[in-house]
């Protein structure tokens, strides 16, 4: 009988967390544990590891609820990820249902941590500190800390290297399968937005070397990936710590040329750092989706300056004009914060004017709330929560109407769709170039000879909200 024990790994939050979980999964298997299948959940698992999200209040609540549900399954429970890193000992004291709360520095020893949990040995949760004060690892240190790790399940090893905040990297194990895979460009953030706590617990910005990113792309292609989604806290900063601000522009053609990869998509671009050369690379490189995930956050100059960001309505519309001059059908999505301290009705109206003119494909609207340790939490001019909620409702309703109009504008055009799931009436559900996984709409394609994983050219015949229907005619 096998003496290997079983771990269920639950991932919450963003695509960056998905990559972290796949790296953790490889470490867990290398330490002699089995991973529960996704369908199994916590059933039969000795330990449930929850890779938490700590970005906003709703995400933190979801993380707590998931940890409590895992505890109710009867398995041992380990909290990992951003919320665990951000709160450490405070979370461990507030949530005794968790058998251990581990930080990023525990990832290299995840097998030992799981052994301790099963044996009932207490783990001393870390005291959080501002990771921005930690010096990023240098290329010399990176080379010196590389480790070789045996293959898992017949899969080839990834190149040696370092995952920021979690030590030497090991083989990544794909957890979700399917034709789409996130690929981490970097970790951390050097920006100082007043509303955001991410840099404090993710640390300073550290780019992965291009050769390492390319080697992982080849590995992903060999394990079924057709589309790569490049993720980081700020993709427009890629390469600045390597001494090359054009590193992403140079990397994109090489990624698109990887055998087996049909589409490369870049996520999370800072408007103030989106250079003309990068726009040209995204719009003009075959195999790179003309897709812009722009972090606008607002359109009023005074509010943006209070957020310690740059730009305004006119500058942002000018940026969109640059994009559409090169790729008229480019997809653009963004998120916006309303109810920021000091936001006036004039500021809201400025945002309304921007949204009405911007023709965005997908829009997320979030109400401001104080985040622990951020500068904005101490700003004057806080709005009543009821007023924040009213502004969220108003802007969300407008965004829903405008994005539906933008989708309707695509009726009659031809789109290239990556088929990902079986759809209704014998069709296939997938995403066009202007649609990112999970956060944007989908396309239902009908036609003969279709197969999962194909990228097909189809004509849009109808829209429903942000979702499209297309056929092969």
Annotated binding site for [4Fe-4S] cluster: 14, 53, 82, 189, 193, 196
Give phi and psi for 35, each to the nearest 5.
-100, 130
**Is residue 7 exposed (0-12), middle (13-18) or buried (19+ Cβ within 10 Å)?**
buried
What is the strand order of the sheet 227-231 is part of? 180-184, 227-231, 263-266
Going by C-alpha positions, the residue among 358, 333, 198 that lies closest to residue 266 is: 333
| Feature table: binding site | 14, 53, 82, 189, 193, 196
What is the rounded CA–CA span in Å between residue 435 and residue 431?
6
**Is residue 404 exposed (0-12), middle (13-18) or buried (19+ Cβ within 10 Å)?**
middle
- Return the DSSP state at 158: P
Strand 5-11 to 33-35 pairing: parallel
What is the rounded CA–CA span in Å between residue 271 and residue 278?
11
Residue 43: other Cβ atoms inside 10 A: 13
Our CA angle for 188, 193, 198, nearest 5°, is 35
363, 402 Cβ separation under 8 angstroms? yes
């Amino acid at each position: 009988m096998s003496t290997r024990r079983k771990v269920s790994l639950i991932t919450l939050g963003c695509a960056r967390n998905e990559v972290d979980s796949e790296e953790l999964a490889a470490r867990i298997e290398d330490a002699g544990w089995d991973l529960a299948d996704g369908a199994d959940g916590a059933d039969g698992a000795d330990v449930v590891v929850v890779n938490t999200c700590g970005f906003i209040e709703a995400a933190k609540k979801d993380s707590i609820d998931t940890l409590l549900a895992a505890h109710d399954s009867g398995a041992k429970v380990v909290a990992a990820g951003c919320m665990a890193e951000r709160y450490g000992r405070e979370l461990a004291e507030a949530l005794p249902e968790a058998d251990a709360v581990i930080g990023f520095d525990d990832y290299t020893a995840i097998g030992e941590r799981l052994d301790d949990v099963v044996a009932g040995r207490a783990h001393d949760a870390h005291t959080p500190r501002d990771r921005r004060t930690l010096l990023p690892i240098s290329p010399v240190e990176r080379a010196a800390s590389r480790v070789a790790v045996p293959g898992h399940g017949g899969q080839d090893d990834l190149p040696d290297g370092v995952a920021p905040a979690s030590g030497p990297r090991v083989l990544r194990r794909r957890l979700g399968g399917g034709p789409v895979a996130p690929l981490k460009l970097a970790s951390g953030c050097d920006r100082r937005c007043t509303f955001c706590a991410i840099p404090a617990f993710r640390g300073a910005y550290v780019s992965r070397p291009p050769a390492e990113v390319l080697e992982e792309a080849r590995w992903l292609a060999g394990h079924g990936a057709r589309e790569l989604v490049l993720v980081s806290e700020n993709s427009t900063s890629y390469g600045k710590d390597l001494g090359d601000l054009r590193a992403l522009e140079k990397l994109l053609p090489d990624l698109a040329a990887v055998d087996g990869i049909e589409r490369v998509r870049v996520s999370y671009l800072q408007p103030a750092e989106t250079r003309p050369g990068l726009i040209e690379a995204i719009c003009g490189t075959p195999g790179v989706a003309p897709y812009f995930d722009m972090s606008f956050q607002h359109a009023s100059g005074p509010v943006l300056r209070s957020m310690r960001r740059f730009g305004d309505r006119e500058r942002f519309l000018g940026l969109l004009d640059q994009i559409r001059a090169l790729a008229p059908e480019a997809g653009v999505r963004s998120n916006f914060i309303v109810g920021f301290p000091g936001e006036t009705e004039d500021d809201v109206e400025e945002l309304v004017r921007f949204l009405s003119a911007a023709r965005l494909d997908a829009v997320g609207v979030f109400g401001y709330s104080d985040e622990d340790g951020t500068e904005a939490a101490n700003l004057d001019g806080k709005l009543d929560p009821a007023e924040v909620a009213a502004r969220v409702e108003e802007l969300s309703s407008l965004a829903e109407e405008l994005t539906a109009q933008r989708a309707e504008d695509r009726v009659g055009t031809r789109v290239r769709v990556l088929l990902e799931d079986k759809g209704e009436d014998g069709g296939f559900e997938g995403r066009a170039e202007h649609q990112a996984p999970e956060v944007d709409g989908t396309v239902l394609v009908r036609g003969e000879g279709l197969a999962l994983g194909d990228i097909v050219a189809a004509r849009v015949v109808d829209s429903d909200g942000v979702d499209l229907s297309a056929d092969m005619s």
